Structure 1
C-alpha cells in the first residue's frame, strides 16, 4: 500500500463508516436497542488493523469485548466472577439442536447477538480485503445505497442524511480507489483537494438547482396491490366458494380453509412493551370450531378495571401505559392481558361480557359507543417457572367443567396422542410445554393457502394432527387447547392481534407499532392454581411475547434478570437458562448444566469439535504463522534465534518453497529471496550460521527480528 500512515488511516475510517451505515438503521427498523455496542465493536476491529496489532492479541480483546457485552446485556453479573460462562456455554450447546432442526424462532437473543458479533468480525476482514488488496468497493457501495433506499421507502427509517453521506463520502472513496489502481495517488494531497472540490461543486449545484416534481407514481402502493392480487389469484376457495381475508371476525363456528393477507391498518400504538392484544376468548369446542359459553353475565367498570383480574397476587408484574389510535371507530376494546384502566374522552363506561371476556365501550343505557383514541394502563406479567411447576392441581369444579369441555365425537386417537405427549411429565407446566413444543418438533408447517376444511364427518383438530399437518394459527392453537383438555388441563382459545410491526419511535423513546388485519391471531391460555391465566404460543413461526423466568439464586449469588436491551424486552427463551433447577449454589448450578448433557448432545459436540479441528487444519496457513510470531515475540538469545530460524524453514516448506536434496542453506536462501524479491532470507541465514558457531548472534537477532517476522508473514496466503 503506497502512501503515508495518514492515508491508511483515512481508508480505515471509510471502511468503518460504510459498515456503520448498515448498523445505524437497526435502532429504527428493529427492536434492537443497543446497536451502539456493535458499532463500537466494528470500530475496534478496524482500529486494531490500523495499529497492526498481532492477530492473537486482537482475538483475545475481541472475544473479551463480546463476552463482556453479552454479560452486561443479558446476565448482568460480575464479569470477573465468570458466573455467566456456564450459562453462555449451555446456550450455545442447546442451539446445536435448534439449528439442526431449523427451529429459527427459538433462537435466543444471546445466541443471535453472538452470531451477529461473529458476522461483523468477518465483515471487517472482507471490507479490508476489498479496500486494501483489490481496491474495489463499488459492489459493496451500491449494496449500501440500495439498503438505505429500501429502508427509507418501506420502513420508518428516514435515510436523507445517510444518502447525503453516501453520495459525498462514497464518491470520494470510489474516486480515490480508481486513482490508486491507476497509480496516480503519489500526489494524493493535491488529488484529494481536487476531488473534494469537484464533489462539493456537484452537491451545491444539485442543492440549489431547479427540481422537477416526481415523474413516476409512488411504487409502494403498486407493489402492495400487485402482491395482494397475486395472493388472491392463487388462493383456494372454501366450501362456500370464497377465499377469506385474514382479520378479526366474530364467527368461529366453522374453522379452516385458505385466506389472503389484508394489510388494512386497524390501529397504531405507542407502547413500551410487546404483547398480544386480546379481544375475546371462547371455551366451547364443537369439533368444527368454537362457540361462546352460554353465559349472559356482564359487569361494568368506569375507566378503572376493578371487576376482573387475570392473575393472582403472587405474580410479578410491571405497569405500563399505551396510547391506541384506531384508523376507524372501534366498537370493542383490544387490550393486553392484565388490563387495569381505560381512559377515553368520549367513553367513561365499559361493559365486560364474562362468557368471553370481550369488552365494549357503552353509555349509561348500555348502548355500544364508538371508541376513538384512548389510553390504557396494564400490568405486564413476568411468570416464574418455579411457581408454575409448583402450582397445585386445579380444584375449582366450575372452572374445570367449562375449560376442559370436549365434544363426545372427538376421535379417541386425539386423547391417546395427548397421553403420549405428556407421558412422564410430572407437573402441569411440564405437560403444557410438552404439548406446545410438539408442533415444532414433528413436521407441522405454517400454511395459509393449502389449508383443508373439515367435512361433515371430520374433526377439525383430528384432521390437522393426523392428516394434513398444515395450517395457520387457528389450527395450532385449537389443537393445543384440545390436547390439553384431553389430559384434564383447563385451557381456552384466545383471539385478537399480535404486537404488530415496529414502525417508528416517539420523542420520549416509546415504540410505535402498526397493527393491521393480517396481525389477527389466536393463541392459548392455560389456568394455573395460584397464578391465573398464562399465555402459550404453539403456532409455528410465532414467539410468545411474555417472560418466563427461571428460579433465582440466593441474594449473594443472584443473577439479575436481563434488562431491556437488544431483545426490546422480548422474553428470554427457556433455553437461555437451561432446565429448571433449585440449586442454591453456583457449584450445583454448574453441576446441573453438565448433567443435562445427553448422549445426543455429546455426539453433536464431538462432531462439531472434529469439524472445527478439521477446518482449522485446512486453513492452518492463515493462522499458524501468527502463532509462531507470538511464540517468539519476546524470546532472545542464540538458542531462541536457532529455533526461530528452524520454524521459518518449516513455514517456507509448508508454503511450497521446497528445499531440494543436497541444497545448502545459502543456496536455498537465495532461492527464497528471488521468489519474494528480497535479501532478508540470506541475511537471516548468515546470522543462523554465526549462531551455530557461537559467534554471538544475539545482538543481530534483536536488530533483525523484523526481517524474520516479515518472512513469516509472507507465508500467509
Structure 2
C-alpha cells in the first residue's frame, strides 16, 4: 500500500512541475497582448496534466478536453450556445480559409486554435518531464521567455523569475533524488532532499536580506535598439569608442560620441507655458556617465489626484497652467513639466513616481505598465526669487549632501581646482552656481554634435571635455556643470528630457508644440535650502526657460549702480561648504557602509577567494572529512545497535569516496573481502559480521561493542590519505 502511494506521489510531482512551468507562459499574455480570461487557459493546462497523472484512457481524456473546450468557447462567445458552437466554429473556419484572408479570423477560431496549441504543448511537456525526466530544456526555454518579455515588453517578470528559481531548485532536487533511488542509493533520499533544499534556501535568504549593489553593466536594451545607429569607427579610432546617441535614451552609463540627427516626432503638446519636459533625474556620476541612485521608494497617486510631492518651498510663487500631451508612438513613462500637480487621462491608471529618479510610469492596480497615448497635466509655472536664492543657508541634511555631492575618487584634481578658480570672489552659493553656468558661454567651448570624443579607459568624461576637447552637446555641458558644482559642496543633479519643442500653431489661446527626437536634452538642477531644486542651463545656444525675478531694491541697484559702494558687504551671508561632505562622517547602518565600500572589483576578489577556498576544502576532503566523522560519532553513545548501523553506513560512504566502490550485485561480505584484500587486514570482515549481528540478531554484548568501535575507528583512519 505504501509503495503504491509513493509511486502515485512520485508521478504527481513531475506532472505538477510540468503544469506549473507551462502556466508561466500564459500569465504574461494578459500584459503583452489583448488576451483575456487567462484563468480558463490555465485551468485547461491543469486538466490536461491531471489526465496524464491518473492515466485516463485516450478516448476518455480526448472527450474530457473536448467538452472543456466547448464549454469555454460557449462561455467566451455570447452569440453562440454550446449546441450551436460546432457548426458556427466550422462556418467561421471555412469563411476565413476560403473567404477574405486579409482579415484576422474570428475570436472563436483564434481561441479554439489556442486551445489546440496548449493541448500539444502540454503533451510535449508531459513527454519531456513526466516520461523522460528531461526538464532542463523546457525550464531553460521558460526562463528565456520570461526574461525576453521582461526586457523588451511592458511586463514585470520579477515575481515570475522568483517562482521559477524556487521551482527549479525543487524540481532538480526531487528528480535527481528519484534517479538516485532508482540506482539504489545507500542513504536516506528524504534527508538528502532536505539538505539539498536547505542550502539554496539559506543562500537565497542571505541574498535577499543582504546589501544590494547597483547594476554593474549598462542596460543592454538601449544598446540593442540603437545598434543600427552606431557609426563605424574610423581607421585611427579604436572600435570601443564608436558610441552614438539618437534622441532620448535609457542608458547613460557611458556618455560621449556623436548625437545623430533624428527628426522623428515623439509627442505634441498644447500648452501656454515655456519649460523643459522632464523624464527623469540621475545623480551617481561614475567618471564615464550617470547611473541611478538605488532606491525602491515609490510614490503612487491616482488618476486626477493632486500630487503631494513637494517641488519647492512656499517662497517660490507659481502660476497654475494646464498642458495636453499626445504621445505619437505611445509610451509607459510620462513627460511632464517641473512642478507637476495633477495628471488626468481617459483610462483608469495608477501613476507611480520612482522617488530616486522622479520618473513617472503609468500602471494598472497590479503595478504592470500601461501604455499612454494622451493625457492632461496641471502644473505650477515657477518664478524663482533671486534674493531668496542668494540668502539660502548651507544645506544641513547630511544624507542629501552625501547623495548629491557624490563624485568618483578618480576625478582629476584639476577639475576641483577649476571650480575654485571660476567661483573665486563669489560669496553665495547662488553666485557660485551662476558663475559656473556662465563659464561655458566663454573660454572657447563649442556646441558640437558630430565630432564628439569618447573618454578612454583611464580618462574622465568631464575632465576630457573641460581641458582637452572643449566641444560637445548638452550631455557634456550639463554633466560638467553638475560635477563642478558638486566639488564646491553644493548639491546638484543631472536631469534629462526634452526642450519645449517647435512652435507650430495656436489654438484657443494655447500654443501647439511638436517635440522630436532632436529635442532630447539634459540640464542641471541645484538644491537651495529653503527654496528647493532650481534648474540651470549651461549648454551654449540654449536658454533657460524659467523665470528668475529680482525684488524692488535689487532692481533699483541695477538701475543706479553709481549710488552703490564699489563692493557690497555680504560678509553676514552664510557661506556654502567649501568641500564636499565626507562619506566617512556619514552615520548609517553597517549594510549601507558595506554597499558604499563594495565594487565590482571587490566582488571579483571575494568570489575568487570563495572559489579557491571551496576548491581547497574539496581537494583536502580525505584528510578532514574522516576526522570530522570520528569526532561526530565519538560523541554518540555506543549502545551496539543504532550507533553501529549509522556508523557502518558512514564508513561505506568514506570507502566509496576513497575509491572502493561497492557494485550493485555485491553482498556486504563480498565487499568486505575486497576491502580487507586492499588494506591487507581482516578488520572489515570482522566489523561486517558484528554489523550483521546487530541487524539480524538480538544485539551485541559490551565487549563486542568495544571491539566494533575499535574496528570502525581503524578503518576510518585508513581512508585518510
Band the TM-score falls in, shorter-chain normalisation: 0.3 to 0.5
TM-score under structure 2 length normalisation: 0.45
TM-score under structure 1 length normalisation: 0.45
Q: RCO higher in 1 or 2 (8 Å CA, sep ≥ 6)?
A: 1
